[in-house]
A and B are shown apart, each in its own frame.
Chain A
């Protein structure tokens, strides 16, 4: 097929649906009048269009029925309410006993309760497993919350720290409060609060204790990635989606005149003396299933060193989100870079250094470093991870190693070789085997893009799974016992659009040329993953 035909066929669907820009329409028709194959394709798409129109029209009686049923149910609800009011008025008019009036009210309440059940309001038909998805699909979010400090842990009473988070995905803007604890000789010396604002390709870090600001520059991709990752990471601080499955419905509570479903869960973290029990409570809208408030409580031991249950522990408030708002318009002022007078500039917008896509941290050993850059989870459960590894100091060129790699073959034997992944799930009997997918080069560094394919069924909720990077030392001798490097759950890639946007976008980002390796497509990568899985199964 000629290039022109390929280009034209890409635009034919838009021509059919009438969404093609007017200036291109004539050009396409002109080609169609000359090319029989493209004309046949256009005619086939037109036939599909007619079929879909007919299909939609055939559903009109059903849609009309939906409308009629909804209107009639709304009228029934009105009638019931009127009946309740009339009955009570009538009862009091005839001077019935208080008991009889109470019986009538109770009966009406029961009928109404039956109807509200019918509307799905009182008995929740949902559980809390939708929360990660809710965060991933939100357009914007605002959370206002406080952290509480346990005096027995910190040795003194500290006031709770007010925190706030704003994310607006329409402009990929973010504003967040941070806090950190500073220790000296095992004793807490300061609580550091800071604020970060990401807007228009800049990130401003404002340290409120040091009274200083620092600007860094970010590419469009990084700006988008930062906001999206932060949004999708809300609700992922626990042990994956199973945590949300275990929430128990506790009934309803009213906040500002509106009723909310209350859900609670308890979870245990840590081992031995670090064993801690947490209780989470969420107030959730029965209509949108959006949480509007939450609290986290910690079970504290009364006697130091003892498991709280053994010592008759008590629950103390750890964190309280008193306002959670979803999909609201956020004023531009929230993301404005406003620096109070008297603050020192560690870097300005003019001198801001450009940051690299590198959020996972290094595994830094005496003689070599392993640097996982970013990772993505595909719909079939396999994982794509970008990583690099170099000796210290990096003396030898890695070009020969990368030039000889084959797609689907072994990952490059770099100084520290990330050859597999293990999911962070107890008793998960599955290993993800790394195979070479592509490589990019940036500022003299080679970056390997490996695909890690599970040798068995991936964990049930692989989109929420974290991993341990398994690696070996190649040229440097191991300088100390290696501790595992954790890898967060990556952005989930569910379509070709996701793949182009996030994976190819990251490849372009980590490449001097600013373009991803050629011929990489979502379908192609899924086919490769399938082939690797087949080979692993044969072994």
Chain B
């Protein structure tokens, strides 16, 4: 989605146009899910929190000051909700959220991949998730994480290398 169209949708959404809200929800759901999955490492929880984040942003869009910053604004909302969720879980269980067990329908590599992803640092995991879930674009990573494109590229590159090492170790290569 180009920036002009996004801005128009944000304005329309603020004025109560639900079809604009739906378009924004559709466009951002992958990105927001990627952020939540990157932070929570748990697919069901990530789905719940992504849903909450999108709803919270779209129902409170009047509080957005700069229409051009919708992407980073909604990303911050998602991050805040993830932090709250982790804190609540810690409080409840006194332990961190563990990655969910793989579904039986998953290919056999997924548990291995998920275990390796869980061992990455949060910033590396986020870079990978955003790249693969949100249009393979380093520009999107940069915009979402509010960093430069060069840094996003560097982070992605490092994440790929670390993931390779972790997968190799897991496979005993």
Contact = CB atoms under 8 A, between A and B. Distances in A.
B64 to A, nearest CB: 8
B156 A17 contact: yes
A70 B25 CA distance: 7
B136 to A, nearest CB: 7
A37 interface: no
A504 to B, nearest CB: 15
CB-based closest 8 A-B pairs:
A13-B160, A56-B132, A287-B60, A13-B157, A70-B25, A67-B29, A66-B29, A70-B54
- Residue of A41, A58, A62, A78 with most chain B CB atoms under a 10 A cut-off: A62
Contact of B55 (A44, A74, A325, A494): A74
A399 interface: no
A285 to B, nearest CB: 6
Contacts, number: 146
A287 B77 contact: yes
A51 interface: yes
Given A287-B63, A288-B76, A13 B161 contact: yes
A120 B81 contact: yes
Contact of B136 (A18, A133, A327): A18
Interface of A: 10, 13-14, 16-19, 41, 44-45, 48, 51-56, 58-59, 62-67, 69-71, 73-75, 77-78, 119-121, 125-127, 129-130, 133, 137, 139, 258, 285-289, 325, 327-329, 494-497
A497 B155 contact: yes
B65 A53 contact: no
Given A55-B110, A288-B73, A288-B80, A67 B63 contact: no
B56 interface: yes
Contacts of B154: 497
Contacts of A496: 158
B58 A328 contact: no
Contacts of A54: 107
Interface string B92-128: 0000000000000011011001000000010110001
Contact of A328 (B54, B65, B146): B65
B57 interface: yes
B156 A63 contact: no
Given A59-B133, A65-B47, A126-B83, 6 more contacts: A18-B136, A52-B132, A64-B29, A288-B63, A288-B76, A497-B123
Contact of B51 (A66, A126, A258): A66
Contacts of B58: 70, 74
30 contacts: A13-B157, A13-B161, A16-B160, A17-B131, A17-B138, A44-B168, A48-B160, A55-B132, A59-B43, A64-B29, A66-B50, A66-B54, A70-B55, A71-B22, A74-B18, A74-B22, A74-B25, A74-B55, A125-B88, A133-B83, A258-B62, A258-B63, A286-B60, A287-B57, A287-B63, A288-B77, A325-B65, A327-B146, A494-B123, A497-B158
Interface in B44-87: 47, 50-52, 54-60, 62-63, 65-66, 69, 72-73, 76-77, 80-81, 83-84, 87
B29 A327 contact: no
Contacts of B133: 56, 59, 63
Contacts of B43: 59, 62
Given A66-B54, A258-B63, A287-B56, A19 B156 contact: yes
Contact of A51 (B80, B109, B161): B109
Contacts of B160: 13, 16-17, 45, 48
**Looking at chain B's contact residues, is the secondary structure mostly helix, strand, loop, or mixed?**
helix
Contact of A62 (B47, B54, B84): B47
B167 interface: yes
A59 B33 CA distance: 9
Interface of B: 18, 21-22, 25-26, 29-30, 32-33, 37, 43, 47, 50-52, 54-60, 62-63, 65-66, 69, 72-73, 76-77, 80-81, 83-84, 87-88, 106-107, 109-110, 113, 121, 123-124, 128, 131-133, 136, 138, 146, 151, 153-158, 160-161, 163-164, 167-168
A19 B153 contact: yes
Contact of B56 (A69, A119, A497): A119
A494 to B, nearest CB: 7
A62 B33 contact: yes
Nearest to A56: B132
Nearest to A127: B87
B55 A17 contact: no
Contact of A78 (B18, B76, B88): B18
A286 B62 CA distance: 12
B106 to A, nearest CB: 7
Contacts of A66: 29, 32-33, 47, 50-51, 54
B117 to A, nearest CB: 9
Contacts of A133: 83
Contacts of B168: 44
Nearest to A65: B47
Nearest to B107: A54
A495 B164 contact: no
Contacts of A289: 80
Given A16-B160, A51-B109, A327 B72 contact: yes
A14 B25 contact: no
- Residue of A54, A70, A137 with most chain B CB atoms under a 10 A cut-off: A70
Contacts of A287: 56-57, 60, 63, 77
A166 B107 CA distance: 51
A75 B60 contact: no
Contacts of A495: 121, 123-124
B51 A63 contact: no
B52 A119 contact: yes
Nearest to A126: B84
A175 B29 CA distance: 38
A452 B133 CA distance: 41
Contacts of A45: 160, 164
